[in-house]
Structure 1
Amino acid sequence: MSDDLKLGLNLGYWQRQAHDATDLVQAAERLGYDSVWTAEAYGSDVFTPLAWYGARTSRIKLGTSVAQISARSPVTTAMTAMTLDHLTGGRLLLGIGASGPQVVEGWYGQPFPRPLARTREYVDILRKVWRREEPVTSDGPHYPLPYPGGTGLGKPLKLITHPLRPEIPLYLGAEGPKNVALAAEITDGWLPLFTLPDKIGSMYGDSLADAPPDFDIAAMVLFMVTDDLQSALNVVKLMLTLYIGGMGAKSRNFHADIIARMGYADAAEKIQELYLSGRKDEAFHAIPDELADGISLLGPPARIRDRLQLWRDSPVTTLLAMGPQDEPTLRTVRDLVLG
């Protein structure tokens, strides 16, 4: 439970068109937002926009939500993170995640199996690189260093540049209970995508039982300040239609799985079936309003203020606001969350 929620701005990834959100990011910094976050899927990458915004701000923290581990070798991510952290004066928050088999195998051409073991090994190498205690080696099966085979000339190396911080904060994007438990064990924070604040305890209590006291649960939450509640609900339902219905295969969709664990198993199955059969409009209408409302903060300011209590009563420590597109909305959200 946290009465002192931190507030961040989550920009996500670009859609069809490139989008420079510098003005919005600078406004968030002026208004006292703690952090701004970018993302990647199979379009815009996660680091370049963050470097762009970091060069145009001076205080706001800069987060990746998330850098996909199959997109880069662990030492590449470590080098990129170290470089960006230096250039921005130690403002980086590095969120990583495994993504899903469609993207990992279809886009990056990498194997998806054993994502938890791969993530653990990845994090271990990141920290070895930044700490510079010795040349980096790894005997794990996923990212062995030096590479076994090839020319046989590979040798362990140590990062040339001394990091500004040898312990860059690490976050893990996770949805399954085992992955959340891994986040609590080996990283500094968890980045949940879809959250029912009053069910975090029942869904993830065991996973978070051993989390350290300063473990940051930074939940992504869509804010829409409006008098037209149904239109706002429809925006959320449109997003859920894609994620539940089409962001994954029929046999393996992590987003549909989490919705099922929230208590909407029948709805998730129906939505996915309708979407994959081309009946997307019916899939949209099959999403319960209460689900869309529960994972979001929608409506007039007074309604949002009331519903914020659910988040304050939950284990969430940071709200990453999605949706604001202008300074007045950012200010309203700031006033509601930070008081």
Structure 2
Amino acid sequence: MKGETAASLAVHLPVAAQSSLDRLVDLGVRAERLGYGRVWLPETWGRDAVTTLALLSARTERIGLGSSLFTVYSRSPALVGQTAATLQEAAGGRFRVGLGPSGPAVVERWHGVDFERPLRRTREYVDIVRQVLSGERVSYDGDCFELDGFRLRCDPPETPPPVDVGGMGPKAVELAGRFADGWHAIMCSPDGLRSRFDDLERGASLGGRAVDDVRTTLVLPCAVSERAEHARRLVTAHVAFYVGGMGTFYRDALERQGYPVASAHAAWQDGDRDAARDVAETFVDDLAVSGTPDDAQAALARFRAVDGLDEVAIAFPRGATVNDIETTMRVLSPESSGRNRRT
């Protein structure tokens, strides 16, 4: 696999608890000052990622930037290619595009689009985005998209941004290993990651390449506080929401890892949030980092040590305040956690 050094550290910017766009961008600027290697920005149903990443590209100088993730149901694949080319230009070559299907709850209830053929659609997006970024005429005959006759109407990036894919199930991870430049994992324990690495390696083999060529990133919920129980409540509520409030997508992913989440999902659907959180608390330490600074740094080190993992993206629970976020970023920063990282 990829060696014995600790995975590098990135920041996965929050989608909640930010009073303004300027405040959100400030967190990315702070991440650069703290020595993080990259800022990832998710896109759910709040501020859009493109505007925010463009502002970040203007206000930062060194830190890598990336989308984690653009859903493959909200923009056409050609538009994602155009956007990736533009952000790569704006960021001076620091951009990395992340794509994924998201889940049916967001796709159908927010975007109003049927959640159909998510794996095939993701595969075609990867192909088309790369064609757009090449600067050549896009000609594609797929199951979901048929395109022909146009090319990017500006110079393509001198260095095309890598194209990453998010995935949770075995086939989705295999797809990332076979076709993408990187894989983004979410809601994975260290053992769950190791199981998915088998799928990633199988996909890389099918694609005729080494699994070491696929950069792996874990999006990891983290909360640090001198009040350890406060931090633990934040990550527990976060996990419970994803298990119970986001359809069956995350529930199924955690069931594959062996966690008893069916009762948490049922309790949440019945309106009993406390019962859902009680179940999530029994396994939250396998999926998140929380506690005092010393405890959180030790927990983070356990994830960073997973062989085959290139990067841990520090993410923040939905209920985290600005102070919670800033404390967590500072305590878990590369300078505080040690500088033994992968490039």
Task: Give your verdict on TM over 0.5.
Answer: yes
Contact 1:93–1:169 (8 Å) recurs in 2: yes
TM-score, reference length from structure 1: 0.88
Indicate the residue corresponding to 1:5 in structure 2: 7
Change beyond 3 A, Cα 1:101–1:224: closer
More displaced, 201-210 or 187-196? 201-210
- Counterpart for residue 129 of structure 2: 126
1:233 shift after superposition: 1.8
SS of the equivalent of 1:63 reads strand
The answer (yes or no) to whether the contact 1:125–1:136 under 8 Å persists in 2 is yes
Corresponding residue for residue 338 of structure 1 = 339
Check conservation: 2:101, 2:122, Cα contact below 8 A. Answer: yes
**SS of alignment partner, residue 21 of structure 1:** helix
Counterpart of 1:262, as a letter, is Q
Report deviation, 1:333: 2.9
Quick one: distance in 2 between partners of 1:262 and 1:242?
Answer: 18
Residue 60 (1) aligns with residue 57 (2)? no
Tell me whether 1:184 sits opposite 2:177 in the alignment: yes
Deviations, residues 90-141 of structure 1 (Å, cap 9, x unaligned): 11110111012232233223232211111111111111111123x2122112
What pairs up with 1:203-214 in 2 under 5 angstroms?
203-209=196-202, 210=204, 211-214=210-213
**Is the 2:218–2:311 contact (alpha carbons within 8 Å) kept by the matching residues of 1?**
yes
Structure 2: 5+ residue stretches without partners: 205-209, 317-323
2:7 maps to amino acid: L
Please report the RMSD computed on the Cα atoms of aligned residues, expressed in angstroms.
2.1
Q: Deviation at 1:144?
A: 1.4
**For 1:77-156, what aligned pairs fall within 5 Å after superposition?**
77-133=80-136, 135-146=137-148, 156=149
Match runs of 1:270-289 below 5 Å: 270-289=263-282
User: Given that residues 9 and 35 in structure 1 are in contact (C-alpha distance below 8 angstroms), is that contact kept between their aligned partners in structure 2?
Assistant: yes
**Where does structure 1 differ by over 6 angstroms across 4 or more consecutive aligned residues?**
none
Whether the 8 Å contact between 2:36 and 2:333 is mirrored in structure 1 is no
Q: Which residue does 1:263 correspond to in 2?
A: 258
- Which stretch shifts more, 108-117 or 30-39? 108-117
State which of 29, 32, 48 in structure 2 corresponds to 1:45: 48
Q: Give 1:12's aligned amino acid.
A: P
Tell me which residue corresponds to 2:237: 238
CA distance 1:118–1:15, shift in 2 (3 Å): farther
Distance 1:325 1:233 in 2: 14
2 CA distance for matches of 1:173 and 1:287?
23
Q: 1:169 to 1:299 in 2, by over 3 A?
A: same
Q: Larger radius of gyration, structure 1 or 2? A: 1
Aligned 8 A contact 2:177 2:214 in 1: yes
Distance 1:328 1:275 in 2: 28
Paired amino acid for 1:195: C
Taking structure 1 as reference, are residues 303 and 115 closer, same or farther at Cα in structure 2, changes over 3 Å only?
same
Cα distance in 2 between the residues matched to 1:165 and 1:95:
19
What is the one-letter code of the residue matched to 1:50? L
2:65–2:95 contact (8 Å) kept in structure 1 = yes
Secondary structure of 2:309's match?
Answer: coil
Identity %: 32
Q: Over residues 60-86 of structure 1, what are the superposed CA-to-partner deviations in whole Å (9 max), with x where a residue is unaligned? A: 111111111111000111111111110
What is the distance in 2 between the residues matched to 1:310 and 1:4? Answer: 9
Could you list the runs of 5+ residues in structure 1 that have no partner in the other structure? 147-155
3-state secondary structure, aligned to 1:160? coil
Q: Secondary structure at the match of 1:218?
A: strand
Structure 2-normalised TM-score? 0.87
**Which residue in the other structure is 1:153 paired with?**
none
Shift of 1:337: 4.6
Contact 1:173 1:192 in 2 (8 A): yes
Stretch deviating more after TM superposition (25-34 or 85-94): 25-34
> Which residue identity is paired with 2:58?
A
| Pairing 1:161-180 to 2, within 5 Å after superposition | 161-165=154-158, 167-180=160-173
Q: Secondary structure at the match of 1:286?
A: helix
User: Following the alignment from structure 1 to structure 2, what is the Cα–Cα distance between the partners of residues 255 and 123?
Assistant: 23
Q: Which sits farther off after the overlay, 301-310 or 48-57?
A: 301-310
What is the distance in 2 between the residues matched to 1:182 and 1:31?
34
Provide Cα deviations, 1:258-310, integer angstroms capped at 9, x if missing partner: 1111211xx31101111111112221122233x21112222233333433134
1:38-57 deviation per Cα after TM superposition (whole angstroms, max 9, x unaligned): 11112221111111111101
Structure 1 residue 186: Cα displacement: 0.9
**Cα distance in structure 1, aligned partners of 2:331 and 2:278:** 33
Residue 197 of structure 1 aligns to which amino acid in structure 2?
A: P
